[in-house]
């Protein structure tokens, strides 16, 4: 199982489970606006949290089984970063999420 991670707000994640798809790219940005959903490899989560989610309340960490995704997944280079980041090019299907952890940035 290949795992990737996405930091989400509870207010975005909970309705997405009922709707059957998650369409938030990153904090305050939709999939339609960005074109993909930002994710991280395990070693990238802390840096993303510190840079973009500091002091944001009610966060969860979505643990995603990449093999269960119904949308394409691409690992792409990000300028200034040593390792590529995983990006989901379409909605995240909730059944690909194998764990939801309370998270504090």
Query: pLDDT tens digits, the chain, 105 residues: what are they?
Result: 799 999 999 999 999 999 999 999 999 999 999 999 999 999 999 999 999 999 999 999 999 999 999 999 999 999 999 999 999 999 999 999 999 999 998
pTM listed for this prediction: 0.95
In order of start, what are the domains of the chain with their CATH numbers? 10-103 (3.20.170.20)
How far apart CA 18 and CA 89 sit, in angstroms, is 21
Tell me the chain's radius of gyration from C-alpha atoms. Answer: 13
């Amino acid at each position: 199982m290949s795992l990737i991670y996405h930091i989400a707000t509870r207010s975005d994640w909970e309705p997405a489970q009922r709707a059957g798809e998650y369409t938030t790219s990153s904090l305050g940005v939709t999939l339609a606006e960005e074109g993909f959903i930002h994710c991280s490899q395990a070693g990238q989560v802390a840096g993303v949290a510190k840079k973009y989610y500091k002091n944001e309340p009610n966060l969860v960490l979505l643990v995603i089984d990449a093999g269960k995704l119904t949308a394409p997944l691409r690992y792409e280079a990000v300028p200034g970063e040593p390792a590529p980041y995983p990006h989901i090019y379409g909605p995240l299907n909730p059944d690909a999420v194998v764990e939801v952890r309370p998270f504090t940035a």
